[in-house]
Structure 1
Amino acid sequence: MNSSTSFPVFIHDCGFHSALGSEAVAIHQALQSGQSKGMLIDNEILNTHTSTVIGRVTEALPPIPQPLSLYSTRNNQLALSALLQIKTSVKDAIEQYGADRIAVIVGTSTSGISDGEVAYAEKINQGAFPEDYHYTKQELGDSANFVADYFNITGPCYTISTACSSSGRVFISAKRMLQAGIVDAVVVGGVDSICKLTLNGFNGLEALSNQLCQPFSADRSGINIGESAAFMLLSAKPSHIALLGAGDSSDAHHISAPHPEGNGAEQAMRAALEDAGLTPKDIGYINAHGTATPLNDSMESKAIYRVFGDSVPVSSTKPLTGHTLGAASATEAAIAWHILHHQLPLPMQRCVNKADDIEIALVESEQYLGGKAILSNSFAFGGNNISLIFGYSHD
């Protein structure tokens, strides 16, 4: 399904914090070296007492301001660490448009569940929840409400939770809202933090790898989970980088597995191209969903090959950030923004043993975008698929 008619949405700022780090220099070094300091082995988080690799944010996180103490969770602290990077731009937008003409749309899948886990453990051990704990901290809407209250934004505010496509769908919603004239600017993004519920759930599905994930490799054995926050300020006011197009689909093939031929993935990519008014030749790089599970990488490769052949360079950045779940789309949108804004080389796929079922062209040597656009894929449970296209604006 096509998300909308062509309507460019411009990106005015980007805040980003993941296992790559939070400073531009650290992010760029990690993207170019293919090594991320936050990808760490964890031997404690799984109930099976087996090890896995997790993409952790290792820097100290800012405290939640006292007037907003009800929002005090690690998830919101992580969000705040990215929001502080775009604070000036958001304040300028509020001054220009008014607080009621700005929307907040956030994607998440974990919200404050990690804090709920700690609080519940205390209740079991001590007989009562901590005094500062409230169940609203793990409600999905908590993330968007925090962002709105932090900036005193009074326009539309909501959270989207469609598993791993959550923070991709926020871009589609923002675009529609801007196109309809409901608001003049939108703060969009995604945030998810590490929690035991998610890790043990994926371990129960036998989807976790006990080593650094290897997308598109014959040796791929599963995913690494990560945490991340990425936020952008969008509006219809021209800027040099834009969301050129977006496409979505829902193939509903299986509750936790994509269609083996990638039918829904293909549909989303073609819809994004149509929405942007672009052809496959206009795409200079594809940031693949690339989770390193056998089924995902196989079906995504087939879908990409049917649309683009083997002429467009492809890589997955999940070995550098982990799969950040509800924040994955925003995480990879932020990586696309950094590539475009700073004219970085494309992230390489260090695939030692490329699988026979992978026909696409992986980024295996230094390459640059060459002025073309970036397509970024995110696919979720239930066949909820999102493709976003970012590029330079000519307006």
Structure 2
Amino acid sequence: MKKAYINASSIRSICGDTKQTLDAVFNKKSFLATFSDIVPNKTICIGRFPDKSTFEELLYSCVNEVLDGSNLQDFSNTLLLVGSSVGGMAETEKILFNENSYENINIQRHTINVIASTLDKKYNFLSTRSFSTACTSSANALKVAKELINVGAYKNILVIGADEICSTTIFGFSALGILSDEICTPFQSNRKGMNVSEGIGALLLQNKFEKESVELIGAGASSDAYHIANPDPTALGAISAINKALHDAALDSNQIDYINAHGTGTQANDTTEAKAIQTIFGEKIYVSSSKSNVGHTLGAAGAIEAAICVEALKKQLLPPQIYCDDNENSLNYVDIVKEAKIEYALSNSFAFGGNNTSLIFGVCHEN
């Protein structure tokens, strides 16, 4: 069986480019902002890209960074897998709101596949596929990429997680009553909810080991189908996904050194995820959520947080959580950036409909 190595990655977030985003994550900086002119009679805290570039330009720069940092000359022998929650919905909204009409909306620019097709036109990929499973979209794309490389189906797979913020998502989460008016405080007893945001993450998976490779060693998924918006409070779905990832990686729970939690800051998600972590790992394992830094980037979250785990493994640094002073439970939150021996890191992604995905990344010892 071939191994799936991550040999290049990049991020575009509300914090900036890859370097700026990682600096924010490892130094407890947040670029989330409050707005009182979006949802009537409500103040919300969300994440928006700086107005310097369009979403398409940021997408191209993210892909270019991966290509420049890789051993590839082009993507002609590379499969593209894109995970997104809203696809081209933001573009549709702009036309609708600007013209107060749907007549000039191009349905081909609305679909989930529009991101993959846009990239394919510019880079000429071997083939493309798109995933839309809400907040697990790019995590599931990474899982499939690993499996395809493991069986030798492809040598190179570029995984993109990308979501642009739009009114439909903002008003949808507002209607559910889970948007916070402050920077989110995952797992804390005073938490008010989540911060919807936008972002792009890109990771190149290959069957070839390189000097700074990080292996995607395990992946597990489950669907508890408990409720359309809330996770199963027994945490059985989350527990199943994590255990499947451990089994896939041939690891015991005590071998995981760090968990990048889904950690949205909502009451239902945090309670369920904490229960799953405590059931499998106990209370000593290091845990943190990056969503206070970059917000909840929906379908892009799995890819962005995977890139954060890759950096943690390369630098042997634990990324801290911005707020962890009012813990509702006894999880071992990373309060400041710490040097630590990290062999394996777990990243959780949980979505509406009970869709759960867990990924395990490991340090490579080959030469």
Counterpart residue type for residue 182 of structure 1: A
Equivalent residue for 2:6, pick from 8, 11, 33: 11
Unaligned runs of 5+ in 2: none
- Is 1:140 matched with 2:120? no
Cα offset, 1:386, TM superposition: 0.4
1:184-228 CA-to-partner distances (Å, cap 9, x unmatched) read 110102000110000000101111111111101110111000111
**In the alignment, is the contact (CA less than 8 A) between 2:2 and 2:149 conserved in 1?**
no
CA deviations on 1:88-145 (whole Å, 9 max, x unpaired) are 256x4356xx72x4210010011221121110123327x963xxx6332221001112
- Number of the residue aligned with 1:67: none
Q: Counterpart amino acid of 2:303? A: A
Amino acid at match of 1:374: A
Task: Work out whether 1:93 is the aligned partner of 2:66.
Answer: no
- CA–CA separation in structure 2 for the residues paired with 1:205 and 1:103: 37
For the Cα contact (< 8 Å) 1:106–1:188, is it kept in 2? yes
Structure 2 contact 292–322 (Cα < 8 Å) conserved: no
Task: Tell me, yes or no, if structure 1 residue 216 matches structure 2 residue 192.
Answer: no
Tell me the distance in 2 between the aligned counterparts of 1:199 and 1:7. 41
Match of 2:243 in 1: 270
Which whole-Å CA distance do the structure 2 matches of 1:255 and 1:23 have between them? 34
What per-residue deviation string (whole Å, max 9, x for no partner) do you get for residues 285-323 of structure 1? Answer: 101111111111111111000100011011111010111
Alpha-carbon distance between aligned partners in 2 of 1:291 and 1:197, rounded to the nearest angstrom: 19
* Equivalent in 28, 32, 40 of residue 22 of structure 2: 28
Residue 168 of structure 2 corresponds to residue 175 of structure 1: no
Paired residue type of 1:44: D
Residue type at the aligned position of 2:21: I
Establish whether residue 54 from structure 1 lines up as the match of residue 51 from structure 2.
Answer: no
Distance in 2 between residues matched to 1:391 and 1:43, nearest whole Å = 43
Q: In the alignment, which of 335, 338, 347 is matched to residue 376 of structure 1? A: 347
Shift of 1:341: 2.6
Q: Does structure 2 conserve the Cα–Cα contact (< 8 Å) formed by 1:15 and 1:85?
A: yes
One-letter amino acid of the structure 2 residue matched with residue 204 of structure 1: A
Is residue 245 from structure 1 mapped to residue 191 from structure 2 by the alignment?
A: no
Shift of 1:165: 0.3
Aligned partner of 1:3 in structure 2 is: none
Contact 1:265 1:303 in 2 (8 A): yes
CA-CA distance at 1:33 after TM superposition: 2.6
- Provide the TM-score with structure 1 as the length reference: 0.87
1:339 deviates by 1.7
Equivalent position of 2:303 in the other structure: 330
Which residue pairs with 1:76 in the alignment? 56
What one-letter code is carried by the residue in structure 2 that aligns with 1:118?
K
Q: Given residue 37 of structure 2, which amino acid in structure 1 is its aligned partner?
A: E
CA RMSD of aligned residues (A): 1.9
Q: Higher mean Cα deviation, 363-372 or 139-148? A: 363-372
Aligned to 2:338, the other structure's residue is in SS state: coil
CA shift for structure 1 position 332: 0.5
* Aligned position for 2:124: 152
Tell me what 1:105 maps to. 81
Q: Which whole-Å CA distance do the structure 2 matches of 1:303 and 1:87 have between them?
A: 37
Deviation (angstroms), 1:79: 1.9
SS in 1 for 2:216: strand
AA aligned opposite 2:229: S
- 2:317 is paired with a residue whose SS is coil
CA deviation map 1:232-283 (0-9, x unaligned): 1111111321111111111111111000021111111111111111112221
Count how many residue pairs are aligned between Structure 1 and Structure 2. 364
What is the CA-CA distance between 1:368 and the residue it aligns to?
2.7
Alpha-carbon distance in 2 for matches of 1:326, 1:78: 16
Residues 105, 174 of structure 1: 8 Å contact kept: yes
Following superposition of structure 1 onto structure 2, how do residues 361-372 of structure 1 map, counting pairs within 5 Å?
361-372=332-343
8 Å Cα contact 2:231-2:354 kept in structure 1: yes
Paired amino acid for 2:187: F
- Tell whether the 8 Å contact from 1:111 to 1:192 is kept in structure 2 after alignment: yes
User: Partner of 2:257: helix, strand, or coil?
Assistant: strand
CA contact (8 A) 1:194 1:226 kept: yes
* Change over 3 Å in CA distance of 1:7–1:184 after alignment to 2: closer
- Structure 1 stretches of 4+ with a deviation exceeding 4 A read none
Distance of 1:302 and 1:314 partners within structure 2: 13
Distance 2:116 2:25 in 1: 29
Task: State how far apart, in whole Å, the 1-side matches of 2:298 and 2:215 are.
Answer: 24
Match of 2:94 in 1: 118
Instruction: Select the residue among 31, 35, 38 that pairs with 1:45.
Output: 38
For structure 1, list consecutive stretches of 5 or more residues without a partner in the other structure.
1-5, 62-73
Sequence identity, in percent? 34
How far has the Cα of 1:57 moved from its partner? 1.9
Secondary structure at 1:93 match in 2: coil
Contact 1:94 1:102 in 2 (8 A): no
SS of the aligned residue for 1:301 comes to helix
Q: CA deviation at 1:349?
A: 4.5
Q: Is the 8 A contact 1:35 1:320 kept in 2?
A: yes
TM-score where L is the length of structure 2: 0.94
What CA distance in whole angstroms lies between the structure 1 residues aligned with 2:322 and 2:281?
18
- 2:270 is aligned to 297
Q: Which amino acid aligns with 1:336?
A: C
Indicate if the aligned counterparts of 2:193 and 2:265 stay in contact, CA closer than 8 A. Answer: yes
CA distance in 1, matches of 2:267, 2:117: 37
Residue equivalent to 1:233: 204
